[in-house]
Amino acid sequence: MEYVAKTIEAKWKEKWKKDNMSRVQEDSQKPKYYCLDMFPYPSGEGLHVGHWRGYTISDVWSRYKLLQGYDVLHPMGWDAFGLPAENYAIAHGVHPALSTSKNIQNFKRQLEQIGALYDWDREVNTSSPDFYHWTQFFFVKMFEKGLAYRKKMPINWCPSCKTGLANEEVVDGCCDRCGAEVTKREMNQWMLKITAYADRLLDDLDKLEWPEHVKRMQRAWIGRSEGARILFGVAGHPDEQIEVFSTRPDTLYGATYMVLAPEHPLVQKISTTEKQNEVNAYVEETLKKSAVSRQIVDKSKTGVFTGAYAIHPLTGAELPIWIADYVLMDYGTGAIMAVPAHDERDFEFAQTFGLPIRTVVTEPGKEAEDGVLYLGDGVLVNSEGLNGLTVADAKKAMIQLLEEKKKGEQTISYRLRDWVFARQRYWGEPIPILYCDTCGTVPVPVDDLPVRLPDVEKYEPTGTGESPLAAIPEFVNTTCPRCGGAARRETDTMPQWAGSSWYFLRYVDPHNPNAPFSKEKADAWLPVDMYIGGVEHAVLHLLYARFFTKVIHDLQMIDFDEPFQHLFTQGMITLNGAKMSKSKGNVVSPDEIIDKYGADALRMYEMFVGPPEDEAEWNTNGLEGVARFLQRLYRLFAQAMGEPVPARDSLNKLRHRFVATLTERMEQFRFNTAVSAFMEYINALQAESAHGLDLATLETLAVCLSPFAPHLGEELWSLLGHSSSVFATSWPKVDEKWLRDDEVELVVQINGRVRGHLRMPADASQEAVIASAKKLPEIIGWLNDGVIVKEVYVPGKLLNLVVKA
Ligand code: ANZ
Ligand code: ZN
């Protein structure tokens, strides 16, 4: 018998389809398991072998869970709104809905090739009105709760995509999508108040079984800093105060000057007339720079003296007030007290402009010396009542002092900003808001949702700050649901991330016309047990989805408040060290590989290529090796299958050890070594095969193979005469009895020191052990010059002979 992957795979795909294998059972008797892939953006490029890795991992895992007796939900859908489809529309004049649906067909065909068990009855598409109906619903709910609001503010603006961007979409000062340098633009924007959830988003990370580095990235993004707000007076302006945020209130006596962000509202008020021109020129210069370039620590410091002085809240000393671009307007209060002796950037600045540098913290026992930078911990000096205190104690004492004097208070600052939730683009969910001259800003009543995205002729962003929807009077002009008067629709659309912030909830109840999902179903299936995807979503998508889940929890629509209990981020597949992408021309397409080796071989190789969380290099020889291995396995199986022999000890032992090793590696997500366990097992069985193989060995092979190579697993199972699917059976159990070692290695000691080693049957008697030990060449010498006065034997571990001269 020959293993012809193509024939076998076609046969089983057909059968699975016919039997509706992938349909989720929803059997309340069984424990549930929700295994989720990060759903793809259906790009025109299709899937390459790099994408297969994540999808194979999730399918192997889902099938393994099925065999373990879980009711498994493993759905798939499309993150279908977004810029690429719209840019394609602009370039080729094809409606994004059309190009998207064509791409989806291709993706689906490719995912079916993988042999993945997706329940297609549950497919979701974020750009379909049945879906975005509920995305809009959540927006209205957030508006009602005050979590969605409109504000005129300077936002990140991509001059090439001609749209506003969220902070999360700006990477090193450039647009995450197109790479153009991002500028600032003052615009009226819809915002979501994610900052109201900052503490919960931070604290609840502790509940999650996520890779530590992903948690770390989220913590850094939220950026919680504990410190104090401190008030300084302004000389000659008795009604003004400068409020600063500092994480080091202990260093207040070391503040020698102040810095305001150039955009700070006080700048214009307090700058002296002589300095006005210089100040204005600097402000203008700063507005052109990105936040990232402004924050680089070792860049040379620039700034301008305003001519004004602040009054130190404790000493009354006058401190010059400067403006400098290293102080940002949107962090803390947009103003700092500068402590050059203990802050790197302040130190650089003070050196550049010849400002005093005053030491207030030193290493204990060291003489304090002004003019140097000291960043370490230590004790306070030159700080009146705080002298001698540690930094930690001085922080507390200073905050207490400031609170007593009403010159400041303890506070917490976050790096996280509210989420800019509007795009001036066509291909997204219309924001369901109306503007009425009488009633003001009115949400579209939930019964009137969805607000459908109309067809347009021109997709091009206008660049005026308005989306192409603004050019469609039939869309814009409507009536106010409150007063019946004329009203205008909001024409901005939601960002790419909107639909993916809650899609995992829709899968549990995808056809519900009356609600986004039923609470009962959501509470039964979620949180997602295993979420598998790329680490590039560590901040954006995973933070937004957690935020939406918490809001939906607070709306009492679900009982849980974290969406993804376990997160697994797979490593990239590279070719000659480079990431696969069409632009690099190094894409390995699965189509040809499947044609030549079959989907099972490709799946198995994707698992074998390396530790699943690490980057791995694609290697065609490795793939051929795996394909040959499947051939070998098939031949071995086919030979033995004709005449299974009775079980024998050697086969039992091999089988239970294999299942134990395999299961342990599966549980630890070490799929590459799980495949090696298979290879070792097949080698061992080949050595045994001259005496035939027993039925239990053959069945175990079929079942254990089936998560990895499901088509072949089914084929082997049916060859054994079973008419039901291999996935209807269960993962084999291990009998510990066969794992026990029958030989053990004993340590032989003379007078408590290790002098030799001895291999003996595990059930050897004490006498037999002692007799054998005495014959060991490395022991004999020790026994020659003395007599044994005591024999201490610890079964299975050691023998100690006490020898006296
Ligand atoms: C005095 C001081 C002394 C500071 C010292 C540090 C060290 P994190 O930890 O990131 O929260 N800061 C405050 N607001 C700022 C702004 N808008 N732009 C630039 N810098 C700002 O940083 C908090 C520290 O960064 C604050 O504590 C402040 O400098 C500075 F030995 O105040 B510190
Ligand atoms: Zn009205």
Cis peptide upstream of residue 450 (ω within 30 degrees of 0): yes
Q: Which ligand 1 atom is nearest residue 341's CA?
A: 31
Q: pLDDT tens, 735-747? A: 998 988 777 889 9
For a substitution probing ligand 1, which of 244, 247, 312, 357 has the most ligand atoms within 8 Å of its CB? Answer: 247
Count of residues in the chain: 805
- Which pair of tokens denotes residue 190? 């819809």
Find the ligand nearest to 482 CA: 2
For a substitution probing ligand 1, which of 289, 294, 336 has the most ligand atoms within 8 Å of its CB? Answer: 336
Name the burial class of residue 602, with classes exposed (0-12), middle (13-18) and buried (19+) by CB atoms within 10 angstroms of its CB: buried
What is the structure's pLDDT at 153? 78
What is the structure's pLDDT at 335? 97
Domain count, the chain: 2
Q: pLDDT tens, 668-692? A: 999 999 999 999 999 999 999 999 9
Mean pLDDT taken over the chain: 92
Q: Whose CA is nearest to atom 19 of ligand 1?
A: 327
- Is the pLDDT score of 56 beyond 70? yes
Q: How large is the average pLDDT for residues 645-655?
A: 94
- The answer to whether residue 37 is domain-embedded is no
Q: Is 345 in the pocket of ligand 1 (CB under 6 A)?
A: no
Strand locations in 74-223 (E): 77-78, 124-125, 148-158, 163-165, 170-171, 174-175, 183-192
Q: Which residues keep their CB under 5 angstroms from ion ligand 2? A: 436, 438-439, 480, 482-483
pLDDT category of residue 292 using cuts at 50, 70 and 90:
low
What is the structure's pLDDT at 579? 78
Q: What is the CATH number of the domain that holds 350?
A: 3.90.740.10
Q: pLDDT tens, 12-35? A: 999 999 998 888 878 878 999 999
Domain limit, last residue, from 385, 414, 443? 414
What ipTM, to 2 d.p.? 0.94
Q: pLDDT tens, 615-639? A: 999 999 999 999 999 999 999 999 9
- Is the pLDDT score of 796 beyond 80? yes
Task: Enter the pTM of the model.
Answer: 0.85
Q: pLDDT tens, 760-774? A: 888 888 999 999 999
- The answer to whether residue 293 is domain-embedded is yes
**Close Cβ partners of 568 (under 8 Å, ≥ 6 residues apart):** 57, 211, 530, 531, 532, 533, 612, 613, 669
Q: Whose CA is nearest to atom 26 of ligand 1?
A: 246
- The answer to whether residue 382 is domain-embedded is yes
pLDDT category of residue 398 using cuts at 50, 70 and 90:
very high
Distance (Å, rounded) from C-alpha 56 to C-alpha 37?
Answer: 10
Distance (Å, rounded) from C-alpha 462 to C-alpha 152?
Answer: 19
Q: Is 327 in the pocket of ligand 1 (CB under 6 A)?
A: yes
**Close Cβ partners of 140 (under 8 Å, ≥ 6 residues apart):** 432, 443, 444, 446, 449
Q: Are 375 and 361 in contact (CB under 8 A)?
A: no
Q: Please state, in angstroms and as integers, the Cα–Cα distance from residue 805 to each residue in 275, 282, 786, 801, following that order.
A: 98, 93, 4, 13
Q: What is the CATH number of the domain that holds 769?
A: 3.10.20.590
- Is the pLDDT score of 126 beyond 80? yes
Q: Is 229 in the pocket of ligand 1 (CB under 6 A)?
A: no
- The answer to whether residue 250 is domain-embedded is yes
Distance (Å, rounded) from C-alpha 158 to C-alpha 166?
Answer: 10
Q: How large is the average pLDDT for residues 717-727?
A: 96
- Is the pLDDT score of 545 beyond 90? yes
H/E element, 750:
strand 743-750
Q: Are 434 and 451 in contact (CB under 8 A)?
A: no
Q: pLDDT tens, 318-356? A: 999 999 999 998 889 999 999 999 999 999 999 999 999
Containing domain of residue 395, as a range? 224-414
Q: Side chain identity at 440, as an amino acid letter? A: G
Q: Is 414 in the pocket of ligand 1 (CB under 6 A)?
A: no
Find the ligand nearest to 434 CA: 2
For a substitution probing ligand 1, which of 231, 243, 248 has the most ligand atoms within 8 Å of its CB? Answer: 248
Q: How large is the average pLDDT for residues 282-296?
A: 76
Domain limit, last residue, from 386, 414, 442? 414
Cα(433) to ligand 2 centroid in Å equals 12
- The answer to whether residue 358 is domain-embedded is yes
- Lowest-pLDDT range, 4-13, 139-148, 480-489, 782-791? 782-791
Q: Are 748 and 773 in contact (CB under 8 A)?
A: yes
Q: Is 339 in the pocket of ligand 1 (CB under 6 A)?
A: yes
What is the structure's pLDDT at 293? 67
Q: How large is the average pLDDT for residues 720-742?
A: 92
For a substitution probing ligand 1, which of 245, 257, 375, 383 has the most ligand atoms within 8 Å of its CB? Answer: 245
Q: Is 541 in the pocket of ligand 1 (CB under 6 A)?
A: no
- The answer to whether residue 148 is domain-embedded is no
- The answer to whether residue 769 is domain-embedded is yes
- The answer to whether residue 674 is domain-embedded is no
Q: How large is the average pLDDT for residues 513-518?
A: 97
Q: Whose CA is nearest to atom 33 of ligand 1?
A: 246
Is 193 labelled as part of a ligand binding site? no
- Lowest-pLDDT range, 380-384, 527-531, 766-770? 766-770
Where do the H-state alpha helices sit in 44-128?
49-67, 83-92, 96-114
Q: pLDDT tens, 554-586? A: 999 999 999 999 999 999 998 887 777 777 777
Q: Are 119 and 24 in contact (CB under 8 A)?
A: yes
Domain limit, last residue, from 362, 383, 414? 414
What is the structure's pLDDT at 392? 96
pLDDT category of residue 291 using cuts at 50, 70 and 90:
low
Q: Are 104 and 410 in contact (CB under 8 A)?
A: no
Q: Is 700 in the pocket of ligand 1 (CB under 6 A)?
A: no
Q: pLDDT tens, 211-259? A: 999 999 999 999 999 999 999 999 999 999 999 999 999 999 999 999 9
Distance (Å, rounded) from C-alpha 86 to C-alpha 460?
Answer: 8
Q: Are 675 and 690 in contact (CB under 8 A)?
A: no
